[in-house]
């Protein structure tokens, strides 16, 4: 295979090409779709997804069928916590951030303990945790109001911060840089890949496998919590199960980024492109005037089509 072809087959490149193509398609279907304003709006939504996807990415990279189905619940819970701690006051932002991080870390810790100590498959553990979180949300909603975002937070998410770009997008960029650095230039990052590729070999090389895996789930919880906080800033107040859609979307974004669900392979830059791709796709489907059934069918079919480009399994006969 020539180096040109292999360059174009990289997930990141494919994603970028598709993004441009979809923007073009969107613009032709609905003029104004690719306007600067709209693109910024898409980027904000993509940032929210991208932040959740960062945590998901790390859990998946760690291997052992790592996946976090509870992120949606953490996002919703975090939005409520943030709203109540802040209660519309700028002074409440810092405590809200800390409270959200603590909540995310807590549920991540529970997930991590279930997966490492009791060796429950991550799919099952995080699924159960999701059920618990959703139940908890019902309880909380009865008791307390949904709270309000502080104006500072809303501005951070929706208003331009520098160079006309809202703060949240900058946050996403910073996270992207941080992830690239962490995964490639730190021992911690290398260890994530090690436990994802061959956990036993990593164990024999002295990598603290269990601690790391718990850490990965805590990181996922914390990223989801931050996303929930920002989501509050985006919508002003939290409403029922606002985080639900993030679960499978974050997984798809990671897959589109070229990370294998088996672990040990991939990176975050691709996931960022994947998140953007997904958000644009959903955006197009919303603007186009077809009913719900058509929208779902097109979305499902398009996802399948896109998956043909990303991480198809190895053929049995090489």
- Asked if 79 contacts 228 with a C-beta cutoff of 8 angstroms, the reply is yes
Number of residues that bind other proteins (CB under 8 A): 76
Which of 43-51, 76-84, 269-277, 285-293 is the region at the interface with other proteins (rule: CB under 8 A)? 285-293
When asked if residue 300 is in the footprint of other proteins (CB under 8 A), the reply is yes
**Rounded-to-integer distance, Cα 138 and Cα 13, Å:** 43
Shortest distance (Å) from residue 20 CB to other proteins: 23
When asked if residue 4 is in the footprint of other proteins (CB under 8 A), the reply is no
Compute how many other C-beta atoms are within 10 angstroms of the C-beta atom of residue 286.
10
When asked if residue 129 is in the footprint of other proteins (CB under 8 A), the reply is yes
Shortest distance (Å) from residue 265 CB to other proteins: 6
In sign, the C-alpha dihedral spanning 70, 73, 79, 81 is negative
When asked if residue 241 is in the footprint of other proteins (CB under 8 A), the reply is no
Write the CB contacts of 166 (distance below 8 Å, at least 6 apart in sequence). Answer: 40, 44, 156, 157, 158, 159, 160
Eight-state DSSP code of residue 315:
P
Q: At what angle do helices 122-143 and 71-86 cross, to 10 degrees?
A: 30
When asked if residue 109 is in the footprint of other proteins (CB under 8 A), the reply is no
**Residue 46 phi, psi (nearest 5):** -65, -35
**166 bridge partner residues:** 160
Residues, the chain: 318
Compute how many other C-beta atoms are within 10 angstroms of the C-beta atom of residue 109.
15
Residues 17-56 that bind other proteins (CB under 8 A): none
Residues 142-161 that bind other proteins (CB under 8 A): 142
The nearer residue to other proteins, 119 or 162, going by C-beta atoms, is: 119
Compute how many other C-beta atoms are within 10 angstroms of the C-beta atom of residue 23.
19
- Asked if 36 contacts 29 with a C-beta cutoff of 8 angstroms, the reply is no
Shortest distance (Å) from residue 77 CB to other proteins: 12
Among 193, 217, 223, 234, binds other proteins (CB under 8 A): 193
Among 120, 155, 161, 173, binds other proteins (CB under 8 A): 120
Shortest distance (Å) from residue 185 CB to other proteins: 5
When asked if residue 318 is in the footprint of other proteins (CB under 8 A), the reply is yes
Among 218, 255, 272, 281, binds other proteins (CB under 8 A): 255
When asked if residue 94 is in the footprint of other proteins (CB under 8 A), the reply is no
The nearer residue to other proteins, 28 or 245, going by C-beta atoms, is: 245
The nearer residue to other proteins, 162 or 312, going by C-beta atoms, is: 312
Decide: helix, strand or coil at residue 162.
strand
The nearer residue to other proteins, 10 or 35, going by C-beta atoms, is: 10
Radius of gyration of the CA atoms of the chain, in A: 20
CA 75, 80, 81, 84: dihedral to nearest 10 degrees?
Answer: 160
Among 66, 167, 191, 229, binds other proteins (CB under 8 A): 191
- Asked if 311 contacts 256 with a C-beta cutoff of 8 angstroms, the reply is no
The nearer residue to other proteins, 163 or 316, going by C-beta atoms, is: 316
Among 139, 162, 164, 289, binds other proteins (CB under 8 A): 139
């Amino acid at each position: 295979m020539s180096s040109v072809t292999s360059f174009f087959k990289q997930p990141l490149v494919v994603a970028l090409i598709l993004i441009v193509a979809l923007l073009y398609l969107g613009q032709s279907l609905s003029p104004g779709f690719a306007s600067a304003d709209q693109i910024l709006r898409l980027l904000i939504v993509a940032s929210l997804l991208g932040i959740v996807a960062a945590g998901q990415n790390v859990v998946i990279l760690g291997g052992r069928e790592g996946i976090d189905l509870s992120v949606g619940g953490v996002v919703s819970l975090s939005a409520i916590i943030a709203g109540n701690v802040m209660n519309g006051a700028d002074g409440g932002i810092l405590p809200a951030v800390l409270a959200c991080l603590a909540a995310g870390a807590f549920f991540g810790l529970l997930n991590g303990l279930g997966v490492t100590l009791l060796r429950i498959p991550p799919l099952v553990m995080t699924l159960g945790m999701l059920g618990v979180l959703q139940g908890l949300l019902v309880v909380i909603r009865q008791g307390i109001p949904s709270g309000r975002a502080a104006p500072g937070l809303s501005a951070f998410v929706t208003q331009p911060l520098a160079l006309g770009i809202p703060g949240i997008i900058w946050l996403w960029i910073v996270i992207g840089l941080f992830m690239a650095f962490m995964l490639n230039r730190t021992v911690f990052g290398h260890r994530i890949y090690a436990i994802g590729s061959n956990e036993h070999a990593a164990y024999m090389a002295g990598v603290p496998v269990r601690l790391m895996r718990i850490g990965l789930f805590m990181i996922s919880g914390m990223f989801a919590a931050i996303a929930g906080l920002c989501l509050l800033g985006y919508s002003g107040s939290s409403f029922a199960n606002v985080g639900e859609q993030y679960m499978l979307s974050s997984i798809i974004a990671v897959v589109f980024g070229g990370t294998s669900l088996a672990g040990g392979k991939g990176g975050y830059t691709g996931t960022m492109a994947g998140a953007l791709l997904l958000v644009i796709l959903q955006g197009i489907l919303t603007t186009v005037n077809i009913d719900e059934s058509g929208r779902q069918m097109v979305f499902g079919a398009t996802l399948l089509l896109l998956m043909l480009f990303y991480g198809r399994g190895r053929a049995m006969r090489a």
